[in-house]
Amino acid sequence: MIRCIYSPSTDIYFHLAAEEYLLKQGNEDVFMLWQDTPSVVIGKHQRLQAEVDREWVDRKRIHIARRFSGGGAVYHDLGNVNLTFIEKASRFPDFTVYLQRTLDFLVAMGIMAKGDDRLGIYLNGLKISGSAQCVHKNRVLYHCTLLYDTDLTALNKALNPKSLFNEEGNKERISSTYAVPSVRSEVTNIRRHVSRGSVDDFKEEAFRYFSRSQVVSSFSEEERRIVNRLRKEKYMRDEWILKIP
Protein backbone atom coordinates (compact mmCIF):
# COMPACT_ATOMS: atom_id res chain seq x y z
CA MET A 1 0.00 0.00 0.00
CA ILE A 2 1.06 3.57 -0.67
CA ARG A 3 0.76 6.30 1.93
CA CYS A 4 -0.97 9.25 0.21
CA ILE A 5 -0.52 12.73 1.66
CA TYR A 6 -2.53 15.78 0.58
CA SER A 7 -0.42 18.55 2.07
CA PRO A 8 -2.33 21.57 3.44
CA SER A 9 0.86 23.64 3.58
CA THR A 10 1.86 26.10 0.86
CA ASP A 11 5.44 26.58 2.11
CA ILE A 12 8.20 25.50 -0.26
CA TYR A 13 10.74 25.02 2.53
CA PHE A 14 8.39 22.73 4.45
CA HIS A 15 7.74 20.60 1.39
CA LEU A 16 11.41 20.19 0.47
CA ALA A 17 12.18 19.23 4.05
CA ALA A 18 9.22 16.83 4.09
CA GLU A 19 10.46 15.11 0.94
CA GLU A 20 13.91 14.60 2.41
CA TYR A 21 12.45 13.30 5.66
CA LEU A 22 10.08 10.88 3.91
CA LEU A 23 12.84 9.60 1.65
CA LYS A 24 15.64 9.21 4.19
CA GLN A 25 13.87 8.43 7.45
CA GLY A 26 10.82 6.57 6.22
CA ASN A 27 10.47 3.01 4.97
CA GLU A 28 7.04 3.18 3.30
CA ASP A 29 6.01 4.03 -0.24
CA VAL A 30 4.61 7.57 -0.41
CA PHE A 31 2.67 9.77 -2.79
CA MET A 32 2.38 13.45 -1.87
CA LEU A 33 0.43 16.20 -3.62
CA TRP A 34 1.37 19.77 -2.74
CA GLN A 35 1.41 23.43 -3.79
CA ASP A 36 3.44 26.49 -2.89
CA THR A 37 3.01 30.23 -2.84
CA PRO A 38 5.27 31.92 -5.46
CA SER A 39 8.70 30.31 -5.28
CA VAL A 40 11.70 29.59 -7.46
CA VAL A 41 13.34 26.22 -6.86
CA ILE A 42 16.77 25.38 -8.23
CA GLY A 43 18.37 21.95 -8.44
CA LYS A 44 21.00 20.74 -6.00
CA HIS A 45 23.82 21.21 -8.52
CA GLN A 46 22.80 24.58 -9.93
CA ARG A 47 24.19 28.05 -9.47
CA LEU A 48 21.56 30.59 -8.43
CA GLN A 49 22.85 33.52 -10.45
CA ALA A 50 22.82 31.44 -13.62
CA GLU A 51 19.17 30.46 -13.21
CA VAL A 52 17.24 33.29 -11.54
CA ASP A 53 16.72 37.03 -11.97
CA ARG A 54 17.50 37.65 -8.30
CA GLU A 55 16.70 41.36 -8.40
CA TRP A 56 13.22 40.82 -9.88
CA VAL A 57 12.45 37.87 -7.62
CA ASP A 58 13.48 39.78 -4.49
CA ARG A 59 11.41 42.77 -5.54
CA LYS A 60 8.34 40.57 -5.99
CA ARG A 61 9.03 38.79 -2.67
CA ILE A 62 9.18 35.41 -4.33
CA HIS A 63 10.81 32.69 -2.24
CA ILE A 64 14.07 31.15 -3.43
CA ALA A 65 14.82 27.55 -2.52
CA ARG A 66 17.27 24.78 -3.40
CA ARG A 67 16.05 21.17 -3.45
CA PHE A 68 18.20 18.12 -2.72
CA SER A 69 17.47 16.47 -6.09
CA GLY A 70 19.09 17.38 -9.37
CA GLY A 71 17.43 18.83 -12.46
CA GLY A 72 16.70 22.37 -13.54
CA ALA A 73 15.14 25.49 -12.08
CA VAL A 74 11.34 25.69 -11.80
CA TYR A 75 8.76 28.24 -10.75
CA HIS A 76 5.92 27.38 -8.35
CA ASP A 77 2.75 29.22 -7.47
CA LEU A 78 -0.78 28.23 -6.50
CA GLY A 79 -1.62 27.56 -10.15
CA ASN A 80 0.97 24.79 -10.17
CA VAL A 81 0.45 21.30 -8.71
CA ASN A 82 3.39 19.17 -7.54
CA LEU A 83 3.51 15.38 -7.32
CA THR A 84 6.05 13.40 -5.31
CA PHE A 85 6.59 9.64 -5.49
CA ILE A 86 8.90 7.93 -2.97
CA GLU A 87 9.35 4.18 -3.16
CA LYS A 88 11.67 1.27 -2.61
CA ALA A 89 13.50 0.49 -5.79
CA SER A 90 16.06 -1.75 -7.43
CA ARG A 91 19.71 -0.81 -7.76
CA PHE A 92 19.04 0.72 -11.18
CA PRO A 93 15.60 2.37 -10.92
CA ASP A 94 13.51 3.06 -13.99
CA PHE A 95 12.21 6.61 -13.55
CA THR A 96 10.09 6.37 -16.69
CA VAL A 97 7.63 4.39 -14.52
CA TYR A 98 6.70 7.62 -12.71
CA LEU A 99 6.54 9.59 -15.92
CA GLN A 100 4.11 7.03 -17.28
CA ARG A 101 1.96 7.17 -14.14
CA THR A 102 1.63 10.92 -14.58
CA LEU A 103 0.86 10.56 -18.28
CA ASP A 104 -1.79 7.93 -17.48
CA PHE A 105 -3.46 10.35 -15.08
CA LEU A 106 -3.49 13.12 -17.68
CA VAL A 107 -4.89 10.78 -20.34
CA ALA A 108 -7.60 9.68 -17.88
CA MET A 109 -8.58 13.35 -17.71
CA GLY A 110 -8.68 13.63 -21.48
CA ILE A 111 -5.34 15.46 -21.71
CA MET A 112 -3.33 13.82 -24.49
CA ALA A 113 0.14 14.77 -23.28
CA LYS A 114 3.43 13.17 -24.29
CA GLY A 115 6.70 12.57 -22.45
CA ASP A 116 10.26 12.88 -23.68
CA ASP A 117 13.59 11.27 -22.85
CA ARG A 118 14.31 13.97 -20.26
CA LEU A 119 11.12 12.95 -18.40
CA GLY A 120 9.39 16.20 -19.31
CA ILE A 121 5.73 16.30 -20.35
CA TYR A 122 4.41 18.26 -23.33
CA LEU A 123 1.02 19.30 -24.62
CA ASN A 124 0.80 20.39 -28.25
CA GLY A 125 4.59 20.72 -28.25
CA LEU A 126 4.72 23.00 -25.19
CA LYS A 127 6.04 21.93 -21.81
CA ILE A 128 3.60 21.47 -18.92
CA SER A 129 5.78 19.43 -16.56
CA GLY A 130 9.38 19.00 -15.53
CA SER A 131 10.77 16.44 -13.11
CA ALA A 132 13.76 15.64 -10.94
CA GLN A 133 14.91 12.47 -9.23
CA CYS A 134 17.29 11.19 -6.60
CA VAL A 135 18.28 7.90 -4.99
CA HIS A 136 18.97 7.24 -1.31
CA LYS A 137 20.14 3.73 -0.49
CA ASN A 138 17.34 1.44 -1.71
CA ARG A 139 14.76 4.21 -2.05
CA VAL A 140 14.03 6.65 -4.86
CA LEU A 141 12.31 9.99 -5.09
CA TYR A 142 10.68 11.34 -8.24
CA HIS A 143 8.88 14.67 -8.20
CA CYS A 144 7.32 16.72 -10.94
CA THR A 145 5.46 19.94 -11.55
CA LEU A 146 2.18 20.26 -13.43
CA LEU A 147 1.50 23.73 -14.80
CA TYR A 148 -2.26 24.09 -14.62
CA ASP A 149 -2.92 27.83 -14.26
CA THR A 150 0.46 29.27 -13.35
CA ASP A 151 1.41 32.93 -13.87
CA LEU A 152 3.61 32.34 -16.92
CA THR A 153 4.71 35.97 -17.06
CA ALA A 154 6.14 35.65 -13.57
CA LEU A 155 7.67 32.27 -14.46
CA ASN A 156 9.48 33.69 -17.48
CA LYS A 157 10.70 36.78 -15.63
CA ALA A 158 11.90 34.84 -12.59
CA LEU A 159 13.80 32.26 -14.65
CA ASN A 160 15.49 34.80 -16.91
CA PRO A 161 18.85 35.53 -15.22
CA LYS A 162 20.30 38.90 -16.15
CA SER A 163 23.65 37.82 -14.78
CA LEU A 164 24.24 35.72 -17.91
CA PHE A 165 24.67 38.88 -19.97
CA ASN A 166 27.28 41.60 -19.84
CA GLU A 167 26.73 45.25 -20.69
CA GLU A 168 27.10 44.54 -24.42
CA GLY A 169 24.36 41.90 -24.24
CA ASN A 170 26.76 39.01 -24.86
CA LYS A 171 26.57 35.81 -22.87
CA GLU A 172 29.18 35.46 -20.17
CA ARG A 173 30.76 32.17 -19.17
CA ILE A 174 29.63 30.90 -15.78
CA SER A 175 32.77 30.33 -13.72
CA SER A 176 31.66 27.11 -12.06
CA THR A 177 32.83 23.79 -13.45
CA TYR A 178 30.16 21.71 -11.77
CA ALA A 179 27.02 23.85 -12.07
CA VAL A 180 24.26 22.16 -14.10
CA PRO A 181 22.35 24.58 -16.37
CA SER A 182 18.63 24.29 -16.96
CA VAL A 183 17.39 23.18 -20.37
CA ARG A 184 14.88 25.90 -21.20
CA SER A 185 11.61 25.14 -22.96
CA GLU A 186 8.56 27.10 -24.01
CA VAL A 187 5.77 26.36 -21.56
CA THR A 188 1.99 26.44 -21.44
CA ASN A 189 -0.77 25.93 -18.89
CA ILE A 190 -2.97 22.84 -18.98
CA ARG A 191 -5.96 25.12 -18.30
CA ARG A 192 -5.65 26.62 -21.80
CA HIS A 193 -6.19 23.23 -23.39
CA VAL A 194 -9.06 21.75 -21.38
CA SER A 195 -12.66 22.61 -20.62
CA ARG A 196 -12.28 21.89 -16.89
CA GLY A 197 -12.47 24.46 -14.12
CA SER A 198 -10.10 25.68 -11.44
CA VAL A 199 -6.76 24.43 -10.23
CA ASP A 200 -8.52 23.25 -7.06
CA ASP A 201 -10.74 20.99 -9.21
CA PHE A 202 -7.65 19.67 -10.98
CA LYS A 203 -5.86 19.09 -7.67
CA GLU A 204 -8.80 17.15 -6.25
CA GLU A 205 -9.01 14.97 -9.35
CA ALA A 206 -5.28 14.28 -9.19
CA PHE A 207 -5.38 13.24 -5.56
CA ARG A 208 -8.43 11.01 -6.09
CA TYR A 209 -6.70 9.34 -9.02
CA PHE A 210 -3.42 8.57 -7.24
CA SER A 211 -4.93 7.73 -3.84
CA ARG A 212 -7.60 5.30 -5.00
CA SER A 213 -7.42 2.03 -3.04
CA GLN A 214 -4.48 3.42 -1.05
CA VAL A 215 -4.00 4.76 2.48
CA VAL A 216 -4.79 8.46 2.83
CA SER A 217 -2.71 10.02 5.58
CA SER A 218 -1.42 13.30 7.00
CA PHE A 219 1.72 14.32 8.86
CA SER A 220 1.73 13.42 12.54
CA GLU A 221 2.71 15.98 15.17
CA GLU A 222 6.08 14.26 15.55
CA GLU A 223 6.68 14.29 11.79
CA ARG A 224 5.80 17.98 11.56
CA ARG A 225 8.22 18.70 14.39
CA ILE A 226 11.05 16.87 12.61
CA VAL A 227 10.25 18.39 9.23
CA ASN A 228 10.01 21.92 10.61
CA ARG A 229 13.38 21.52 12.29
CA LEU A 230 14.95 20.42 8.98
CA ARG A 231 13.14 23.29 7.25
CA LYS A 232 14.68 25.81 9.64
CA GLU A 233 18.14 24.28 9.99
CA LYS A 234 18.72 23.52 6.30
CA TYR A 235 16.25 24.64 3.67
CA MET A 236 15.72 28.22 4.86
CA ARG A 237 19.41 28.90 5.40
CA ASP A 238 21.46 30.94 2.93
CA GLU A 239 24.33 28.48 3.38
CA TRP A 240 22.20 25.89 1.56
CA ILE A 241 20.30 28.11 -0.87
CA LEU A 242 23.27 30.16 -2.07
CA LYS A 243 25.99 27.50 -2.11
CA ILE A 244 28.07 27.35 -5.28
CA PRO A 245 28.43 23.89 -6.87
Q: What is the pLDDT of residues 29-71, one digit of tens each?
A: 999 999 999 999 999 999 999 999 999 999 999 999 999 999 9
Give the Cα separation of 79 and 200 in Å (integer). 9
Asked if pLDDT for residue 176 goes beyond 70, the answer is no
Asked if pLDDT for residue 245 goes beyond 90, the answer is no
Asked if pLDDT for residue 196 goes beyond 90, the answer is no
Contact 43, 181 (CB under 8 A): no
* Mean pLDDT of the 129-151 span: 96
pLDDT of residue 144: 97
Q: Quick one: pLDDT band at residue 168, thresholds 50, 70, 90? A: very low
* Mean pLDDT of the 127-139 span: 95
SS3 14: helix
SS3 141: strand
Closest CA to 205 of 110, 85, 77, 132: 110
Asked if pLDDT for residue 171 goes beyond 50, the answer is no
* Mean pLDDT of the 83-92 span: 91
Alpha-carbon distances of 196 from 21, 32, 124, 144, 148, rounded to whole Å: 35, 23, 17, 21, 11
Q: Quick one: pLDDT band at residue 184, thresholds 50, 70, 90? A: confident
Q: Quick one: pLDDT band at residue 175, thresholds 50, 70, 90? A: very low
DSSP classification of residue 65 = E
**Which of 65-79, 84-98, 133-147, 168-182 has the weakest average pLDDT?**
168-182
Q: Quick one: pLDDT band at residue 172, thresholds 50, 70, 90? A: very low
